[in-house]
Chains A and B, each alone.
Chain A
Amino acid sequence: MNPAVYGILFVVFAPVFGGLLAGVDRRVSARMQGRVGPPLLQPFYDVGKLFQKTTRQINPIAEPLLLAHVGYMAACGALLLGGTDLIFTAFIFALAALLLILAAGSANSPFSFTGAERELVVLLASEPFFILMMAAVCKVTGVSSFGAVLASTQLVAVQLPGVVLAFLLVATIKLRKSPFDISISHHPHQELVSGLTSDMSGRLLAYVELGHWYESALLCTFMVLLFNWSVPLGIAAFLVAYALEVLVDNATSRIKWQLLLRSTWVATFLLCGGNVLALFLLGR
């Protein structure tokens, strides 16, 4: 099948995947806490309601920035599945994340701004990993597009165990799970009120949710890239990792941004860097 079709499928179905995943997350978390929890489709009801609320614009520049954020998240997945160079997509991923930060910071208000700054620290902490991961995958397989990696005979996860471990760490950050949920709070955790989304309402908030769903789907796609010998295996690996994330989320409390930055960089350097160094030294 033409890779472009995969790209379009991603744009259409990734939000469905992300939303269901979020619903399962809330349900499982509730069960872990001894409650019943909301229905599985709750995130879709939430977004539907948000579109029906009026939107209070603080700084009108936030809306186009958020639309661009969702657009580039979707484009990142579409590009990835459509066969674009892996490292280029890592840069587009960073751009999409940055646009959310800019939208939040533009409100010029204490909570949003602090949330935006912390999210920038999160970006700083996680970005080296994504570049290294893509570079490492290209090095192992010798190719640089999604389809070619899946078709390759080199088994990425087996040769890049450090990268897989570091991915679990960074995924915790990107999925906004405790202890790394420093910049945005999923409702009950209100250290910075709502962090990034403190001054977003109505459809702006809906865009943030959509962007987050695309991001979850993208992280699943990255996992498939790592477990490249079978797509169902990759998805299953992602779901297992996600279950671990939910457990960690419910069991830990938030850490400070300084600790987040230090620990993530050290982990990336040791795990990923060590793995990449081994790759180069072994002459692959």
Chain B
Amino acid sequence: MSFFARSPWILHYDGSSCNGCDIEVLACLTPLYDVERFGVINTGNPKHADLLLVTGSVNERNIEIIQNLYRQMPDPKVVVAVGACACSGGIFARAYNIQGGIDKVIPVDVYVPGCAARPESIIDGVVSGIAALEEKRKKTA
């Protein structure tokens, strides 16, 4: 029996985000959407997390950080790119410091589009992420 579906813990990282998507992610924790009823906890610690939710894009400074956070997460793990910037760089894609979407530095499993992505989409993305998590667990089990 797998418990990942019942207890997916999230690490939320803000790359170069304008904070719009971040606020939407946090909104999921509020009473209106309340993802805790699915067992989701927003931990600040990669070692405790199953899903890495990234908002914002990759720039020069945070390449190493994103890679470190990803590396410090224990397996099985899943990456969810939230918002247009995380998916592809969004409207900032051509800026001089932006490298692009998160998939430039780490493997992404779920893309949640939107600018800002709506809480419903984010929750949907997390649910897809959980399914991907289950698949990975089965492969390595």
Contact = CB atoms under 8 A, between A and B. Distances in A.
Q: In their complex, do chains A and B touch, with some C-beta pair under 8 Å? A: yes
A283 interface: no
Given A35-B31, A202-B74, A42 B39 contact: yes
B76 interface: yes
B94 interface: no
A49 B34 contact: no
B45 A198 contact: yes
Interface of A: 26, 30, 33-39, 42, 45-46, 48-49, 52-56, 187-188, 190, 193-194, 197-202, 205
B48 A197 contact: yes
A35 B28 CA distance: 11
Given A35-B34, A35-B37, A45 B74 contact: no
B9 to A, nearest CB: 8
Interface size class for chain B?
20 to 34
Nearest to B75: A54
Interface in B47-93: 47-48, 50, 72, 74-76
A52 B47 contact: no
A38 to B, nearest CB: 5
A187 B34 contact: no
Contacts of B45: 193-194, 197-198
Contacts of B39: 38-39, 42, 45-46
A38 B37 contact: yes
Given A34-B31, A36-B34, A45-B39, A200 B47 contact: yes
A9 B37 CA distance: 32
B21 to A, nearest CB: 19
A172 B44 CA distance: 24
Contacts of B76: 53-54
A77 B42 CA distance: 33
Given A194-B43, A194-B45, A56 B74 contact: yes
